[in-house]
Structure 1
Amino acid sequence: MIYIKKQPCPSCLENYKSKRISSFKHMSLEEPNVKQELRISLLIEQGYVCAYCGSKIDETESIIEHIKCRQNYPELQLEYTNLICSCRGGSNKRSSNPQYPLHCDAHKGADDIPISPLTENCQELFVYDENGEIHDNDNHDAKKTIEVLNLNNKILQNRRKAAIAAYKYLNESDVNWAEELQKIYDNQEHHFKEFCFVLEYYIRNYKLQHY
């Protein structure tokens, strides 16, 4: 999970909310350009990675996610502080593979999560091993969040493991790890590396401590 420091609400959403009829559903059906502008604002804010799992996402392969779901919190459906971007969580692969594990928004549904990407220390509450497994570090809220979002399914584990492998066998003496950390979040083009926060954890805890 990546920490997102929310920016001011974009003008496209502010202008839309001032209309007589405004809802997330109405915006999706009647104002698709506003929704797409909002999506891009969210993507830039979080470096074009899924706020929950860290997978790379873009304008077409992402959804606008409500941290507090619309069904239970309709008053928050257009609140910018309740909006992030998520991957599709495997829902687009279920048609060809019914056993494909759902995760992130697709698994969360209407459930609440005790830790969200807006929780200031959220990245410190999850730990990762070299096999890509995520651990809750005996934190009850972290454990529940992992379960609700299904962040420890084998697909995500293997993808995190592959991302870590790019760093695992590098010779510590040949790498400037401070520079590598900066590259992970190099936001010149508003794009972070896939699984950026996992890579940061791995470098800080498996490489820098021996450097």
Structure 2
Amino acid sequence: MKYINKSEAPRFYRDKVRGKIALIQTMFANGDSRSDIWSEFWNNKNGSKQKKRLRECLLVDQGYVCCYCGRRINIQETVIEHLEPKENADRLTNFNNLYASCSGGNQTTIIAGSMTLNEICQEYSTTSGAIYALNGKTSFQNGEEIKVPKDGNGGYCDHKKNADTIRVKPNQTDVADRFQYSNHVYVEDNKNKTGIGIDAHPNDDEDVTNTIDTLNLNHQTLLKRRRDFVKKMNLEIKGRFEKCANDNDVLDVIERYIGYYGRKNGGRYEPFYFVCLFDLQKKKDKILERIGLN
């Protein structure tokens, strides 16, 4: 998880809140359900378009990655996440309480042509057969919606959190320092396999562990995805390291990669960029220690 520096609420959203706030407050006073109130907030002629624009604004702030796990997300599968539960009109409508989460293994929709079928199966831990069965067809035209089934291993992020409260959040400036990443074993096809899991920093407290459990951030799918992206990065770096003449050259390579993963490229962060940054920092610290500068 990484700190998200949110922008100012867009004008269209501020106007929408002003136009709906009295009704929303009345519905809260009448004891209507939170889901009904949220649905009513978007219930107008341009509601679906405005909701799409809001998703776009949240994704731009976050560099098109999930606010919790850091996997790449697009507008079709973005869930508008209330960081604090929707207990009153302010929490429900306040832009600073809204983030973009992945679907967390819940059924989602992908636009055909944006990804290959093989990429969809890999990204969402499913099979082509399961996708064909859910959609009732075996071919799709570009631009058509493809339903992707729920993750068979359960939920994570928004899908797991639901209305619960987490104690460590992406609006806290020190949030990245409270987590660390290491190898975790999981079982797949009756075999032990190794992925990259998330843990509390040794000097931290149970709030981090509670957050990891509430969001299910060590879900098997996330273990595999983190491993695959870090492995891809390390294979690329290995080729650069082989051309280095000394430790200083190696440090220069690491610094360049830290710079790359630490910024948005084309408006987007790399998937699981903060996991990659953690791995890069470990490499840097190891070299600095070896040459006596750490």
Q: Same fold (TM over 0.5)?
A: yes
Which deviations, in whole Å up to 9, do the C-alpha atoms of 1:23-65 show, x marking residues without a partner? 6322434311111111111100010000000010011121110
2:5 partner amino acid: K
In the superposition, relative to structure 1, how do residues 15 and 141 fare at CA in structure 2: closer, same or farther (>3 Å)?
A: same
Q: Report the counterpart of residue 88 of structure 1 in structure 2.
A: 103
Given that 1:39 and 1:64 are in contact with CA atoms closer than 8 Å, whether structure 2 keeps it comes out as yes
1:16 aligns with 2:30: no
Taking only the aligned residue pairs, the percentage that are identical comes to 26
Q: 2: CA distance between counterparts of 1:188 and 1:162?
A: 20
Aligned mates of 1:82, 1:182 — CA distance in 2? 29
Alpha-carbon distance change, 156 to 184 in structure 1, aligned in 2, over 3 angstroms:
same
User: Relative to structure 1, is the Cα distance of residues 98 and 129 closer, same or farther in structure 2, using a 3 angstrom cutoff?
Assistant: closer
CA distance in 2 between counterparts of 1:124 and 1:188 reads 23
The yes-or-no answer on 1:48 pairing with 2:64 is yes
**Is 1:108 aligned to residue 185 of structure 2?**
no
Task: Note closer, same or farther for the CA distance 1:186–1:98 as it changes in structure 2 (3 Å cut).
Answer: closer
Contact 1:185–1:191 at 8 Å: present in 2 too? Answer: no
For 1:3, the equivalent position in structure 2 comes to 3
Equivalent of residue 175 in structure 2, options 122, 125, 135: 122
Q: Distance in 2 between matches of 1:184 and 1:29?
A: 40
SS in 2 for 1:134: strand
Structure 1 gaps of 5+ residues are none
- Report the AA paired with residue 175 of structure 2: C
Comparing 3-12 with 192-201, greater Cα deviation is found at 3-12
1:58 pairs with 2:74: yes
1:192 maps onto 2:269 in alignment:
yes
| Between 29-38 and 60-69, the greater mean CA deviation after superposition | 29-38
Structure 2 CA distance for partners of 1:163 and 1:188, relative to 1, 3 Å: closer
Q: Is the 8 A contact 2:52 2:75 kept in 1?
A: yes
Q: Which residue of 1 aligns with 2:256?
A: 179
CA distance, structure 2, for counterparts of residue 173 and residue 122 of structure 1: 34
Match of 1:144 in 2: 210
Structure 1 residue 189 displacement after superposition: 2.0
Instruction: Please tell me the root mean square deviation across aligned C-alpha atoms, in Å.
Output: 2.2
CA contact (8 A) 1:27 1:34 kept: no
**2-structure distance, mates of 1:164, 1:73:** 41
CA contact (8 A) 1:4 1:46 kept: yes
Query: Equivalent residue of 1:18, what SS?
Result: helix
Contact 1:3 1:120 in 2 (8 A): yes
Instruction: Return the match for 2:228 from 144, 150, 162.
Output: 162
Is the CA contact 1:104–1:150 (under 8 Å) kept in the aligned structure 2? yes
Query: What number of residue pairs does the alignment pair up?
Result: 209
Structure 2, unpaired ranges of 5+: 25-36, 109-125, 127-133, 135-148, 184-194, 244-249, 288-294
- State the 1:184 CA deviation: 1.6
Give distance in 1, aligned partners of 2:150 and 2:91: 34
Give the counterpart letter for 1:184 in structure 2.
Y
CA contact (8 A) 2:262 2:277 kept: no
Residues 200 and 73 (structure 1), Cα distance of their counterparts in 2 relative to 1, 3 Å cut: farther
Structure 2 CA distance for partners of 1:173 and 1:29, relative to 1, 3 Å? farther
| Distance in 1 (alpha carbons) for counterparts of 2:151 and 2:69 | 21
Please say if residues 60 and 267 of structure 2, whose CA atoms lie closer than 8 Å, have aligned partners that are also in contact: yes
TM-score by length of 2: 0.66
Deviates more, 1:44-53 or 1:151-160: 151-160
> For residue 197 of structure 2, what is the aligned residue in structure 1?
133
- Counterpart for residue 92 of structure 2: 77
